[in-house]
Amino acid sequence: MRFRSAAVLAMIVVAHGPSLAQENYESWEPLKPLFESTGGGGIMIGDYDPVVTGNTCATDFSVHEPGGKVSINRVVFDAVPTQGGILCTNGKWRATSGDASGTTPFRVFIKDGVKRGQ
């Protein structure tokens, strides 16, 4: 029975090996001064500069709506050491005005002073 379980596990690893490989965060593009929001709709994000403090990454950032309105939000991520750097993940944002909040799938990888986004 143990042999059968080991054989099945080996087949799963062989069949799905590439999908189980760890993502290469250093292949992400460096953060740009202005980039499109993960929510789309023509909203642009600016001034995104996460700073790691303990087990979190955080930054205030500007939100530029297509009509010209600009507001300021704050995002706080979990800071996870990996691949010789820090992965900022599980982001939670809120408007500094207090009228909106949510989560973001956006992640940032920080290594050797370079900040990369995905």
Whole-prediction pTM: 0.80
Q: Rounded to whole angstroms, how far apart are CA atoms 27 and 109?
A: 10
Residuewise pLDDT in 10s, the chain (118 residues): 444 443 434 444 444 444 446 899 999 999 999 999 999 999 999 999 999 999 999 999 999 999 999 999 999 999 999 999 999 999 999 999 999 999 999 999 999 999 999 9
Give pLDDT, residue 22. 87
* Encoded tokens for 63: 């939100």
DSSP string, the chain: -HHHHHHHHHHHHHHHHHHHSPP-GGGSEEPPSEEE-TT-TT-EEE----EEETTEEEEEEEEE-TTS-EEEEEEEEEEEEETTEEEEEEEEEEETTSS-EEEE---EEEETTEEEE-
Q: Rounded to whole angstroms, how far apart are CA atoms 60 and 64?
A: 13
Give pLDDT, residue 5. 41
Q: Rounded to whole angstroms, how far apart are CA atoms 1 and 13?
A: 19
> Where do the domains of the chain lie?
25-117
